[in-house]
Amino acid sequence: MSELSFARIDETVLGTLAPPRRGYWALVGALCLGVLLGAGCWAYQIAVGIGVGGQNIPVAWGTYLINFVFWVGIAHSGTLISAILHLLRAGWRNPIARAAETMTVFAVCCAGLFPFIHLGRVWQVYYMLPYPNQRQLWPNFLSPLMFDVIAISTYLTVSALFWYTGLLPDLAAVRDRAEGFRRKVFRVLSLGWSGAHDQWLHYSRGYLFFAALATPLVISVHSVVSWDFALGIVPGWHTTIFAPYFVAGAIHSGLAMVLTLMIPLRRIFRYEAIITVDVLENVAKTMILTGLLVGLAYGTEYFIAWYSHNPVEWESFRWRAVGEYAYGLYFMVVCNVLLPLLFLVRAVRRSLAWLFGLSLVVNFGMWWERFVIIVGGVAHDFAPHAWGLYAPTVVEYGIMAGSFCLFFLLFVLFCKHLPSVSMTEMKETVAHGR
């Protein structure tokens, strides 16, 4: 970082906001088509009925819930990087904090869509809101599904406000160098921020509180998501390990997505001096830890199933390893636990190709982990005559592809229109020599 100056940081980051070329708009167009495909599939499901999806008894929770948990998981590392590492004064998080926070906001948006899609009759979503009504019906907060409504909406609100607050000084920097209509837009967006000493005094204090509040929130949200399953009596779900298991998995998958997004971003925007290989290496080192935690959770689940002498529980886990979905279990163990151990080798941690490749592998493995947990539990529970299998339909694949396109579309639009690296935090890094 020694070669960086305040002016060079501004020049590099603001340079990324130059008018995009045709290739960028072609990518935006392609992603828009993907979003339209997903929206079309959802519209078709609304018109025809939820039966166009593959969910049916006994597997009533399929890809919609898998993708919900997957996207909530992706959202978690953004808060880890922006809040927890901020409190720990880990300077290496500064170059990637903004993009990770943005990833969090967009991932929560994608996650939040899936319960609506899964509802089928989405126009009745207001049933979940507590308000006086003629039906005399109120949501029951004994249900973990209602915990989820509160937790996810809180997480979306907090992460969006945290993200915007962090952006304020950078929006002012863009405003000060913009001209014409763009200047007017950024003048409003920056709320007239001038970097006055009293503004910084309150801002620093407020940002610290944001970080302190977001830290327990991030732990609680995925714990609440895990209780959607753990509070049910389904074998394979009903376990107290789920909260830390889900939190570790969420951070693992989120860090993988950070690498997936940061490596192309670094290359396209020539961020090499800002997002150094050391920064990416630190993400990889953290993934070794989260991968081992996830591996510990996988092992503990099997140990408890065996040690409990509960035949239903043990059968459920035996079937996971040798049944129709056994490949999912092996995908998750290999992709999430074994292959990330390659990061123990320094040359792998510092190779962009390996980092990018392994990040994709972990993303793939973490999706399969959610498949194994969600589908595997209900497909093979207490009564053998009620066992059954599940396969997603074309409509579900379309909606899933649409959600991925939506996430990447929002991220691509963000990168070209707002500062994708926090200039303020980079300047603080340079000033304090961290």
Partner 1 sequence: MAAEPRVMGLFADDAKAARAIRELAAAGFTFRRAHGPIPSDRIREATAGRGSPVGWFTLAGGIFGFAFGFALAIFTTSQWNLIVSGKPVIALIPFFVVGFECTILFSVLGNVVGLLLCTRLPDFRGLETHDPRCSCDRFGVLASCPAGREGELLEFFRKKGAEVRVWP
Neighbouring C-beta atoms of residue 310, cutoff 10 Å: 14
Q: Which residue's CB is nearer to partner 1, number 195 or number 264?
A: 195
- Concatenated DSSP letters of 87-117: HTT-GGGHHHHHHHHHHHHHHHHHHHHHHHH
Q: Are 34 and 43 in contact (CB under 8 A)?
A: no
Amino acid residing at 177: R
Q: Which residue's CB is nearer to partner 1, number 23 or number 433?
A: 433
Q: Which residue's CB is nearer to partner 1, number 172 or number 405?
A: 172
Q: Does 308 bind partner 1 (CB under 8 A)?
A: no
Q: Does 147 bind partner 1 (CB under 8 A)?
A: yes
Site for partner 1 in 331-390 (CB under 8 A): none
Q: Which residue's CB is nearer to partner 1, number 29 or number 206?
A: 206
Cis peptide upstream of residue 58 (ω within 30 degrees of 0):
yes
Burial readout 384-393 (b: 16 or more C-beta within 10 A, e: otherwise): eeebeebebb
- Of the CA atoms within 13 Å of residue 398, those in its CB half-sphere come to 18
Helix (H) or strand (E) holding 80: none
Among residues 217, 288, 292, 334, which is the contact residue for partner 1, using CB under 8 A?
Answer: 217
Q: Which range, of 253-261, 323-331, 412-420, 423-431, touches partner 1 by CB under 8 A? A: 423-431
# binding residues, partner 1 (CB under 8 A): 57
Q: Does 209 bind partner 1 (CB under 8 A)?
A: yes
Q: Does 154 bind partner 1 (CB under 8 A)?
A: yes
Q: Which of 243, 209, 251, 245 is nearest to 225 (CA)?
A: 243
Q: Does 193 bind partner 1 (CB under 8 A)?
A: yes
Among residues 62, 169, 365, 419, which is the contact residue for partner 1, using CB under 8 A?
Answer: 169
Site string for partner 1, 101-140 (x = CB under 8 A): -----------------------------x-----xxxxx
Instruction: Report the C-alpha gap between 345 and 341 in whole angstroms.
Output: 8
The least CB distance from residue 406 to partner 1, in Å, is 25
Q: Which residue's CB is nearer to partner 1, number 142 or number 347?
A: 142
Helix, coil or strand: residue 56: strand
The least CB distance from residue 198 to partner 1, in Å, is 7
Instruction: Report the C-alpha gap between 95 and 419 in whole angstroms.
Output: 11
Residues in contact with 350: Cβ distance below 8 Å, sequence separation at least 6, in sequence order: 277, 280, 281
Amino acid residing at 215: T
Assigned token pair, 343: 């990061």
**CA trace torsion 168, 171, 177, 178 (10° rounding):** -140
Q: Which residue's CB is nearer to partner 1, number 115 or number 169?
A: 169
Q: Does 194 bind partner 1 (CB under 8 A)?
A: yes
Among residues 205, 267, 346, 434, which is the contact residue for partner 1, using CB under 8 A?
Answer: 205
Residues that bind partner 1 (CB under 8 A): 5-7, 10, 130, 136-142, 146-147, 150-151, 154, 157-158, 161-162, 165, 169, 172-173, 175-177, 187, 191-206, 209-210, 213, 216-217, 220, 224, 423-424, 427-428, 431
